Amino acid sequence: MRLLPQLAVFGIVLFASAAPADTAPSLTKADAVRLENEITEHMTEANGAVTRLAADVQKLSSLYSKLDEKAGALRKATAACANGCTASQGAALLAASKELEQSQLSFTAQYLALQNQIQNENRSYAAISSILKTKHDTVKNSISNIR
């Protein structure tokens, strides 16, 4: 690139020329059909990723509601023991506390698994999106080269 300013000093003008039409890459009908089929496959994959993501979100919502039910049971047991507990109320409070703890551990494990699935789906969707963008740009450039 240092050569261009030096050439300009000597009054030499360079012109960039486009490749002649006969050497420009052309897009045949078969290529267009093949690309359309590939794009359709990638779009189907992307739609599947979105569907799986929606299912994962639904599972996560279900986990939250189950955990909330356990927390509600613990609140009721705690409220019953607010002014002193009988033996049966104390046992119910202890059972509700243990059940909530087990549910929380289960929720955490399932939440991490769902989080990993969602991250994988996100990576898959990003890859498909990148592939589709590249193919679109390739076809767009081929068409503009034909003109």
SS3 of the chain: the string is CCHHHHHHHCCCCCCCCCCCCCCCCCCCHHHHHHHHHHHHHHHHHHHHHHHHHHHHHHHHHHHHHHHHHHHHHHHHHHHHCCCCCCHHHHHHHHHHHHHHHHHHHHHHHHHHHHHHHHHHHHHHHHHHHHHHHHHHHHHHHHHHHHC
In a domain, 137, yes or no: yes
pLDDT at residue 6, as a whole number: 39
pLDDT at residue 21, as a whole number: 44
What are the per-10-residue average pLDDT scores of the chain (147 residues)? 38 38 59 80 82 82 83 81 79 83 86 86 85 85 78
In a domain, 100, yes or no: yes
Q: Domain range spanning residue 118?
A: 43-146
pLDDT at residue 147, as a whole number: 65
pLDDT at residue 122, as a whole number: 85
Q: Which residues contact 104 (CB under 8 A, 6 or more apart)?
A: 67, 70
In a domain, 103, yes or no: yes
* Whether this model's pTM surpasses 0.75: no
In a domain, 34, yes or no: no
The number of folded domains in the chain is: 1
Instruction: Tell me if 47 sits within 8 A of 73, measured CB to CB.
Output: no
Instruction: Tell me if 121 sits within 8 A of 53, measured CB to CB.
Output: yes
pLDDT at residue 62, as a whole number: 85
In a domain, 3, yes or no: no
Angle between helix 87-146 and helix 29-80 axes, rounded to 10 deg? 160
pLDDT at residue 27, as a whole number: 67
pLDDT at residue 132, as a whole number: 85
For residue 5, count CB atoms less than 10 angstroms from its CB and return exposed for 0-12, middle for 13-18, buried for 19 or more: exposed
In a domain, 24, yes or no: no
In a domain, 107, yes or no: yes
In a domain, 26, yes or no: no
